[in-house]
Amino acid sequence: MKHIVRYDNLFEFYSLNEDVQGAKSYIKNIYAKKYGISPKEMSDSDIQKAFNDKIFKDVIQITNKNPGYSLPFLKFAIEQRIPIFGGRPDEEIKSLSMLVDWINNRGQLVSRLPMKIQDYANSERIGEVKGFEKLADDIRTLERNISLKWIVDRLPAKPREEFRKLPDNEKQELLNIANSLEEMDKDDPEKKITTRLLSKIKAMADYPIQEIIDYMNNYISGYSSIDAEKKLQEVKELSPEAGVLYSKSPYLVMSMRTEKSQKNLCRVANWCINRGLFLNYAKNALQINIFDYSISPSDPMFLTGTTISYDGHVTTSHDINDWYIKKHESPREHFLSLGYPEEVVDRIIEKIPSEIAIKKLVEEALGLNTKSLRSSQNTNFITYLFGLADSNIQGKIEDSEWEKVIPIIVEILDSEDKGFGEMMLNFMEEYGVFTSSGVKVLQDIFLKRVTKKQISAIYNSSVETFDEIKRLYAYKMKRGDGNPIFIKNLENILKNEDKVLSELKRLI
Amino acid sequence: MKHINTFSDFVLNESSYQFQDQAKKAIIDAMRLSTAQALWIYLGFSKKPELLKQLEDYANKIDGSTLESIIASHIQKNPADIHLLDKNPELKNKILKIANVEDFSKLGRLKKIGLI
């Protein structure tokens, strides 16, 4: 049966048809390409298959109220591989259905975006990100600026008029001030810092806008040093979820090891990783955020965030307004190009290897990186901890760094209801310690937590494990068909047997 | 009777208790590839004893082997893999007996997490 649809006027009918027609031609072209024929050569059944495509049908369904978006949305889904459904309302826009919701609720803002939605869909990449991700970033920036508009409304009439004529980048300075004020007053229901400033501004009705902005900048800079101390305290309270890599006035360099720390410590920034995308960027990577308290919080460089992959490359970097500021693949060159002093940069670079090891441990300990089962969290934790000790033995992590890492590990081991300390001890009692890294972990981290009886048990298990390794090695050698890498590993372990056992004996 | 041509056809169609030799051969061949694969298939089929028996008969018919002997041959080559049967102690003991090797599960667990 044919569906009868009522169109209020002929124009709407034709425009609707035309809008969906673009999407239809697009999906037909995709299928024709797949079959290696031209769209004209497609049979009716080929065309039907194209129109039955799940992505096509889903896109048509979610854009039924706005058919003009069917083609760009189809391009987002197919070319940029953006999911059609998913995401929570409090998160960054990450699916097409979330974008539809935003358009339905905030349609009047679409024209204020820097580009047309079609143009985002036609650009597979804009800078380092997909067109869709850039669209989500631009929506976030727009919404943020709207939420900060209260400061413009509180300006006296004349400077307010002047403000409206300013270019966008100069307007941003005042919005950044509003953002900093919100951050400073976040724990004060009376919002005293903001109220005090606004009462002063009220008396500046005849001042040019730039003088008012300069005045506001000086005002909030006065609070910055207090803010710096508060921030440092907050990082310490969040440890081990966040760590300080450098803190000497005016710089505070932090490593964000979890989404929670990112949100708590850097909420002043307009970044998508603050809103549900932390793992998209900082999984298998360090997130290093730097406050520069020598400049006004309204300056975009007041806070920067740089992501460094575990293999040591800068993957992305943004200023406080989310402008892309990556300068170089090499972290050292990147930070120097951003204008940070050599002393600060050297300190960051020096700490990268141990910070990677710590972040891996924290991720596993808190189960943040994966949805893995508890048992695999435990085993990953053991592997990373021994790996960290091994890096110290091999000189990849200096002794001074290892010593600083120990309290963090102890903190993780003691952290609420995770039971990692007990798990590690049980592990060592069952399997023993059979490598120098194992001895190091036992000696530096666990010695104060174990009894002589437990060390004896660990020693006995170690002897048993060594014996078992010897028997397996002999078996493998006799058969002569084992994996050479595994056999080499066994040989290396057995080479250290006397050393490991005598070190263990010394601890009893 | 519905013919089953692929392993996934077979898995998806529980009512087809007769399946072609071609599919059986593919399954037996897959079992010979690695311990993990052999165990995955064997344990999966254990939930459907009738099907397991058909496979068993086929393995026996082609070269006189049993499914357990296929697993045991993997264990003879990689004795530490026996830890993969930690959750199936009965089968583990049986396989150790057939393979005639010492129980190296402890080392297998250490190998799995990269410590040896």
pLDDT of A43-64, one tens digit each? 999 999 999 999 999 999 999 9
Q: What are φ and ψ of residue B101, in 5° steps?
A: -130, 160
Put the strands of the sheet holding A242-248 in their side by side order: A242-248, A251-256, A285-292, A303-309, A314-318
Measure CA of the first residue to CA of the last residue in chain A; give whole Å.
86
| Of A95, A72, A73, A68, nearest in space to A84 by CA | A95
For range A319-341, the mean pLDDT: 93
Q: Quick one: residue A59, left, alpha or beta (phi over 0 = left, psi -120 to 50 = alpha)?
A: alpha
Q: What are φ and ψ of residue A128, in 5° steps?
A: -95, -5
Please tell me the predicted confidence (pLDDT) of residue A13: 39
- Specify the DSSP element, H or E, that contains A246: strand A242-248
Taking 80 as the threshold, does the pLDDT of residue A395 lie above it? no
Helix, strand, coil proportions of chain A in percent (round to 5)?
65, 5, 25
Q: Which of A472, A477, A481, A491 to mutate to test the interface with B (most CBs of B within 10 A)?
A: A472
8 Å CB contact of A383 and B114: yes
Q: Which residue among A379, A482, A490 places its CB closest to the CB of B116?
A: A490
For A231-241, the pLDDT digits (tens) are 888 887 777 78
8 Å CB contact of B115 and A435: yes
Determine contact: B111 vs chain A, CB below 8 A. yes
For range A502-507, the mean pLDDT: 92
Question: Helices marked H in A148-250 — which ranges?
Answer: 150-153, 157-165, 168-184, 192-202, 209-238
Please tell me the predicted confidence (pLDDT) of residue A287: 94
Cα(A456)–Cα(A52) distance, rounded to whole angstroms?
69
For range A484-502, the mean pLDDT: 92
pLDDT band at A359 (very low <50, low <70, confident <90, very high): confident
- A142 contacts A109 by C-beta, under 8 angstroms: yes
Q: Which residue among A472, A481, A489 places its CB closest to the CB of B77?
A: A481
Higher pLDDT, A278 or A431: A431
| Of A112, A119, A163, A164, nearest in space to A138 by CA | A112
What is the chain B residue with the closest CA to A466?
B107
CB-based burial, A182-216: b 16+ in 10 Å, e otherwise: bbbbeeeeeeebbeebbeebeebeebebeebbeeb
Q: What are φ and ψ of residue A306, in 5° steps?
A: -125, 135
Tokens at A360, concatenated: 């891996």
Taking 70 as the threshold, does the pLDDT of residue B79 lie above it? yes
A306 vs chain B: nearest CA distance in angstroms?
31
Cα(A405)–Cα(A488) distance, rounded to whole angstroms?
31
8 Å CB contact of B77 and A479: yes
Higher pLDDT, A205 or A401: A205
Q: What three-state secondary structure class fits A186?
A: coil
For range A165-194, the mean pLDDT: 86
Neighboring chain B residues of A489 at a CB cutoff of 8 Å: 116
Instruction: Give the B window 10-39 contacts with A, CB below 8 Å.
Output: none
Is residue A48 classed exposed, middle or buried when 0-12, 13-18 and 19+ CB atoms within 10 A define those classes? exposed
8 Å CB contact of B79 and A475: yes
Least reliable range by pLDDT among A125-139, A356-370, B55-69: A356-370
Cite the beta strand spans of A280-335 per DSSP E.
285-292, 303-309, 314-318
Cα(B14)–Cα(A325) distance, rounded to whole angstroms?
57
Neighboring chain A residues of B111 at a CB cutoff of 8 Å: 486
Tokens at A344, concatenated: 């600060």
What is the chain A residue with the closest CA to B76?
A479
Q: Which residue among A379, A380, A471 places its CB closest to the CB of B102?
A: A471
Pairing between strand A242-248 and A303-309?
Answer: unpaired
Cite the beta strand spans of A37-184 per DSSP E.
125-126, 129-130
Q: What three-state secondary structure class fits A370?
A: coil
Cα(B52)–Cα(A18) distance, rounded to whole angstroms?
58
Taking 60 as the threshold, does the pLDDT of residue B9 lie above it? no
What is the chain A residue with the closest CA to B115?
A383
B8: β partners: none
For range A146-152, the mean pLDDT: 90
Taking 90 as the threshold, does the pLDDT of residue A314 lie above it? yes
ipTM: 0.85
8 Å CB contact of B104 and A472: yes
CB-based burial, B53-75: b 16+ in 10 Å, e otherwise: ebbbebbeeeeebebbebbbebb
Q: Does A114 sit behind a cis peptide bond, omega within 30 degrees of 0 on the bond before it?
A: no
8 Å CB contact of A468 and B114: no
What is the chain A residue with the closest CA to B101?
A475
- B19 contacts B57 by C-beta, under 8 angstroms: no
Q: Which residue among A382, A435, A468 places its CB closest to the CB of B107?
A: A468
Neighboring chain A residues of B79 at a CB cutoff of 8 Å: 472, 475
Please tell me the predicted confidence (pLDDT) of residue A260: 80
Tokens at A165, concatenated: 């004529």
